[in-house]
Structure 1
Amino acid sequence: MMLALSEYATINSGCTVREALLALNKAQLGLTYDRHHHRAILVLGADGDVVGKLTHWAILRSLEPELLGQDDLASLAQAGLDDTFIDTLKRRIGRVSGSLAGMCRAAARVRVEQAMVPAGESILDEATLTEAIRRMVILHCQSLIVRRAGAVVGIIRLSDAFEEAADLIRASDPGQSD
């Protein structure tokens, strides 16, 4: 179930969002039809260890550089505060004005380490898929970094865990008890 680190898109932390997206495109070309596309790029530090993930969400967030590091706004939405209230806060903070093309040109220059999600969500390589699914649900994350003896060895993606669970659900007999 784990996708080995060597099979996943990676980028160095000093690169730009544009460079990361080019690396992601290159990685997608090498995928076989039985694999889902990568939904993140693993960010490597100077020592080669994974220091973060550049997710779709993080890339879109880089369109508004003033909001990078404004995770409190996302927490407010998750806490159930009204969108109008959050929009008012965003206007007070300030936002990029102009076209989407202009925002994208600015985002292309953003450094990966400014936009990435820190590599916090992880699981040990000996954990079961059940444990990984439970952790992804609790943390509400798209992937878990897999570690062995402290080193990153791969990633478990929500899409792969979903496919495995969906296959088992389809094959199960609802009348049979465990």
Structure 2
Amino acid sequence: MAGDVQKLSGGCQCGAVRYKVTGEVGHPHLCHCRMCQKASGNFFLPLIGAAKKDFVWTRGEPAWFHSSRPVRRGFCGTCGTPLAFDTVGDDHIAFTHGSLDDVVAVTPVEQSGVEGRVPFYGHLFELSETLSNRDDLPGGIDDVSSTNNQHPDHDTDQWEVRGA
């Protein structure tokens, strides 16, 4: 919920970079602009804002790419997970909604950059649905599960990055 004081944590897929938010979050939104599409490799990029004083990197540091002069984007230099949108000189930072350990803890309240929204966006929920059984892979979902290198959705005292 936007504006609520929460203790949120999150990080990248491999666990090399982790963060914690201890204050209010705000403006959870889906950005459809072309830069956010490219930065996320997706149709839109869900972002949530927090004051920099309430946001701390707890393990590792992201790598940064300046997508424009005033904006840099943070990502894990090991696994590539998009993590942050930082307007240089601002006292707030935006972090990626999908990198939260508990993605349902915050609900988006707006869509921005809608001029870049893909024309089929409104029809995505009309598509057929299937579960991830991964029978297209040798060993199926069991092989994926038993060889999973993804960091768990909670903080860990120690974590050895796997699969790098």
The two structures have a TM-score, normalised by structure 1, of 0.26
Which structure shows the bigger proportion of residues in helix conformation?
1
Normalized per residue, the structure richer in strand is 2
Q: Could you state the TM-score of these two structures normalised by the residue count of structure 2? A: 0.27
Larger CA Rg, structure 1 vs 2: 1
